[in-house]
Structures are given as structure tokens and as C-alpha cells.
Structure 1
Amino acid sequence: MEWIYQETYETRRQARRDIFEYIEIFYNRERLHSSLGYYSPEEYERMIKVS
């Protein structure tokens, strides 16, 4: 994870919080996933709800 390598953390708690935010905010919500037809999970969920 390039984002994490750029940071120096004073505590594990800070590192865990940052990693959690990366996973929950970017990876799970915004990142395009090939298994979803290259849509982000949020976009894919919206499409499913509309159809």
C-alpha cells in the first residue's frame, strides 16, 4: 500500500486508524473493481438499486 509506506506512525493505533480509513473509504467505496465490471462498489450498488 503506497499510502502507508509514505507515512511514519508514532503508535500502532495511528497506523491502524489510517489503514482502516484507507480500506473503508478508498478501497471498499471508491476503487474500481474488475469483478464489478470496473465500477466502484458505491456505483455498483446504486445501479443495482435502480434496476
Structure 2
Amino acid sequence: MSYTVYLQKFENGDSASIPYDELEKVLTRYGKIEMGHSELEFVSNVGEMF
């Protein structure tokens, strides 16, 4: 089973891009980011997240 997660950052009420290092800092607390077949994948180390 897989999940699709959409993250959106806002600054001053407008959408903004999330620098990769910021995203990595948050996500690596809960798993690892690795290269999949064609894109990055997040692999959770905390069991069921949803």
C-alpha cells in the first residue's frame, strides 16, 4: 500500500516553495528519503502514519 502526501508552505498568505534542506530536516525525524524508480520516496520508520 502507498500514500501520496502533498505538502504546501505559505508565507504571508501566499504559497511558497519549500527548500529541500528544510523538508529533509522535518521528514528525516520520521523516516528516510530515498530515490525511487522515477522520483523521491519517503519511507516511514514510525509504522502507520495515517
TM-score (norm 1): 0.31
TM-score computed with the length of structure 2 as normaliser: 0.32
Greater share of residues in strand? 2
Larger of the two Rg values belongs to structure? 1
